């Protein structure tokens, strides 16, 4: 750690600012907001400084910097445009053991000022220790966007409720539940954002009067196809609040790294050489964990309601009377389509898109006549082992053998691999990829040549397709 982050209490503490230009003005504003008793030293002052002084907000000392200005000061900021003046301030401050920041010169400073996201009393400070200020700024922007404006008010309310919550909920776990319910209360957030004090108070009173359920609950969360950036904000919140996360093979390590550190993790996927945990057993795990009063997140690849057996799991929970909710995810078809540059619909190519299982529960339940119709895109999930059958059925039912097809393996991840060719080669192509892979059939596949943006970002695996002798396009290793 190059710097120790601390938050200084500056209320009524004497501080010095040397310089009175635009940058100094920004620093002055921060120090004044923090309640500092501010002296500003410069040879000339901007109108804003004169105005502050007239208002009695700060004291101006006109003239060159003098050592005695540092007497009795807690900290000083040097913000003049003259390097030698800033250096002198730093040197003197160091001798006098006064913390000193030199604007834009982290090497000559005993403290640096981070980028801040101010949701007082919540404060987030970001710093790269002067090494990558642009990165720190980008991070700050991201945090600005994700942290709602009402957060400060919410924290203030929480502060005022602490005593009452302590009295009403003796158990630590019920207190945690109360706070989580308060902080995740969508309607409360809305009324705070609308400055509706009356309604906010009503929501809070209701939280106190409703008995907080000791019963657990299950949240079915879609983790998206792999790239952790495709997890929804709501999904992220859920996995960070979970007591238990029940997950399977399709959930990427990147996403599992975002799960609350002390949450229990139960893997129910297939391990090499072993079978998956049977669905009945998974259902039972969810019921049992929730019955112990835990907040269970059932984390699934893609979207839980698209070939995710989410419906089946929820039916069991409904039967057992366990509360549940669902957070959708980006399904593999959307993810793979975007990251392989193959739009699923396009006015010139496809007016509809069909998500089809390659693993139909009962034989003969797919309507191949309909699937083989033109002007649509077919996306087969779990279709690898059935690629030969899909090829045969579509051609037998009238689809052109030259119809473009693509197979996307590990879509959206850095291991993404895409193989393209024609329908007549589907079985052959399927041998070049491994699970999890999607099969996309339709003339939209031809757009990949123009729209394949991810390959250029991800040179190693998803390199531009290569044409084989047989006309099969395959991938560079």
- Provide the binding-site residues for ligand SAH, judged by CB under 6 A: 225-226, 250, 300-303, 306-308, 331-332, 336, 381-382, 408, 410-412, 435-438
Nearer to ligand SAH, 173 or 435 (CB): 435
d(CA 376, CA 446): 13
At its nearest, how many Å lie between ligand SAH and the CB of residue 344?
Answer: 13
CA distances from 316 to 63, 249, 285, 362 (A): 79, 22, 11, 22
Nearer to ligand SAH, 101 or 437 (CB): 437
At its nearest, how many Å lie between ligand SAH and the CB of residue 454?
Answer: 12
Nearer to ligand SAH, 336 or 419 (CB): 336
Q: Strand 99-102's sheet: what is its strand order? A: 58-62, 37-42, 14-18, 75-78, 99-102
At its nearest, how many Å lie between ligand SAH and the CB of residue 437?
Answer: 5
Nearer to ligand SAH, 56 or 229 (CB): 229
d(CA 305, CA 329): 9
Is there a catalytic annotation at residue 375? no
d(CA 318, CA 419): 42
Nearer to ligand SAH, 306 or 322 (CB): 306
Is there a catalytic annotation at residue 73? no
Nearer to ligand SAH, 90 or 307 (CB): 307
Nearer to ligand SAH, 177 or 309 (CB): 309
Strand partners, 333: none
d(CA 184, CA 186): 6
At its nearest, how many Å lie between ligand SAH and the CB of residue 461?
Answer: 12
Cβ-closest residue to ligand SAH? 302
Cis peptide before 129 (omega within 30 of 0): no
d(CA 135, CA 455): 25
At its nearest, how many Å lie between ligand SAH and the CB of residue 358?
Answer: 7
Choosing from 270, 280, 367, 375, which is the catalytic residue? 270
Nearer to ligand SAH, 25 or 409 (CB): 409
Query: How many CA within 13 A on the CB side of residue 464?
Result: 6
Cis peptide before 155 (omega within 30 of 0): no
d(CA 152, CA 179): 15
Long-range contact list for 37-45, CB < 8 A, 24+ apart?
A: 37/12, 37/13, 39/14, 39/15, 39/69, 39/73, 40/16, 41/16, 41/17, 41/65, 41/66, 41/69, 42/18, 42/80, 44/20, 45/20
Choosing from 243, 248, 303, 462, which is the catalytic residue? 248
Q: Which residues are catalytic?
A: 248, 270
């Amino acid at each position: 750690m190059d710097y120790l982050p601390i938050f200084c209490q500056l209320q009524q503490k004497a501080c010095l600012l040397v310089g009175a230009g635009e940058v100094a003005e920004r620093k002055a504003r921060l120090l004044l907001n923090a309640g500092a008793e501010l002296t500003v030293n410069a040879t000339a002052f901007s109108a804003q400084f004169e105005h502050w002084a007239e208002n009695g907000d700060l004291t101006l000392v006109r003239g060159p910097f003098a050592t005695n200005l540092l007497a009795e000061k807690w900290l000083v900021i040097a913000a003049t445009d003259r390097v030698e003046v800033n250096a002198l301030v730093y040197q003197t401050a160091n001798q006098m053991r006064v913390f000193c920041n030199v604007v834009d010169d982290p090497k000559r400073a005993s403290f640096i000022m981070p980028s801040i996201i101010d949701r007082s009393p919540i404060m987030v400070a970001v710093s790269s220790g002067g090494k990558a200020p642009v990165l720190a700024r980008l991070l700050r922007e991201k945090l600005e966007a994700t942290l709602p404006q009402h957060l400060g008010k919410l924290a203030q309310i929480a502060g005022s409720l602490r005593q009452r919550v302590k009295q009403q909920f003796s158990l630590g776990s019920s207190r945690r539940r109360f706070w989580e319910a308060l902080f995740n209360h969508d309607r409360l957030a809305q009324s705070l954002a609308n400055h509706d004090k009356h309604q906010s108070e009503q929501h809070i009173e209701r939280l106190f009067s409703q008995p907080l359920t000791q019963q657990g609950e299950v949240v079915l969360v879609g983790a998206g196809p792999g790239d952790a950036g495709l997890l929804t904000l709501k999904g992220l919140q859920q996995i960070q609040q979970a007591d238990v996360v029940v997950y399977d093979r399709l959930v990427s390590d990147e996403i599992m790294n975002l799960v609350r550190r002390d949450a229990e993790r139960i893997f129910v996927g297939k391990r090499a050489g072993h079978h998956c945990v049977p669905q009945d057993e998974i259902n039972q795990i969810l019921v049992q964990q929730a019955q112990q009063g835990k907040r269970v997140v059932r984390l699934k690849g893609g979207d839980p309601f698209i070939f995710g057996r989410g419906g089946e799991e929820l039916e069991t929970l409904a039967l057992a009377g366990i509360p549940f909710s669902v957070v959708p995810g980006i399904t593999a078809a959307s993810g793979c389509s975007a990251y392989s540059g193959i739009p699923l619909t396009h006015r010139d190519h496809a007016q509809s898109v069909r998500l089809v299982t390659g693993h139909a529960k009962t034989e003969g339940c797919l309507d191949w006549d309909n699937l083989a119709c033109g002007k649509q895109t077919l996306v087969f999930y779990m279709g690898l082992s059935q690629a030969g059958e899909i090829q045969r059925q579509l051609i037998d039912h009238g689809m052109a053998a030259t119809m473009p097809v693509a197979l996307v393996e590990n879509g959206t991840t850095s291991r993404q691999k895409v193989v393209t060719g024609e329908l007549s080669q589907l079985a052959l192509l399927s041998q070049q990829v491994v699970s999890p892979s999607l099969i996309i059939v339709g003339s939209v596949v031809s757009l990949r040549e123009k729209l394949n943006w991810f390959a250029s970002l991800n040179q190693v695996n998803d390199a531009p397709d290569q044409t084989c002798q047989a006309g099969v396009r395959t991938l560079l290793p």
